[in-house]
Amino acid sequence: ALVFGGLFELTEQGSCLNIGLIIRGRSDCTLNPGGVRMGSSDFYSVLEDMEEISDCAVVGQSWEGDERILLFVVLRTSAKHVGDELQKKIRSELRGRLSPRHVPTIIMSVTDIPYTFNGKKAEMSVKKLVEGKPIGNIAALRNPESIDALSLVRDSWSS
């Protein structure tokens, strides 16, 4: 952690001011369901505390004139699907710790989440995939095979 004059601390989890305010990292992918703007880091701050989830990515998808929230999770177990109980728990945690607007429409289990070489979640690549748009420079991803992992659950978000 880097500490600046006792007023500001920079850590891997975010930044903390000595007044108890935590500033999480910025996101390139703002969600806007129902006209309410929200950042993906809000979701991650809740989901990273859940022992069942080792990684995740959340994006908005244009849907019927609005935007719906899609959540991709990598499970810590070898389970192939997010069961009903875990779906209820995820929705309950997001609703309780954030708001009812933060509850995803669809929750899917995947084997990998794409990252850039500097370790940032490649949310824009995920969003482009679910929107059916060209992803662009896949060589910029540290783990380009993760796009294939996301494509395997295409039926979950395209119906």
The gap from C-alpha 81 to its chain's centroid, in whole angstroms, comes to 17
What is the full DSSP assignment across 74-138? EESSS-SS--HHHHHHHHHHHHHHT-GGGS-SEEEE-S---BBTTS-B-HHHHHHHHTT-----G
Q: Which of 144, 138, 146 shows the shortest CA–CA distance to 112?
A: 146
At residue 50, the pLDDT reads 95
Q: Which of 90, 140, 136 shows the shortest CA–CA distance to 114?
A: 140
The two structure tokens encoding residue 56: 């995740």
At residue 12, the pLDDT reads 53
Spell 63-78 as b/e; 16+ CB within 10 A means b.
eeeebbbbbbbbbeee
Question: pLDDT tens-digit profile of 133-145?
Answer: 999 889 999 999 9
At residue 61, the pLDDT reads 94
Backbone angles phi, psi at 24, to 5 degrees: -85, 165
Q: What is the mean pLDDT of residues 11-26?
A: 52
Question: pLDDT tens-digit profile of 64-109?
Answer: 999 999 999 999 987 778 999 999 999 999 999 999 999 999 999 9
Q: What is the mean pLDDT of residues 138-157?
A: 89
At residue 155, the pLDDT reads 78
Domains and CATH numbers, the chain: 27-158 (3.30.300.30)
For residue 154, name the pLDDT band (cuts at 50, 70, 90): confident
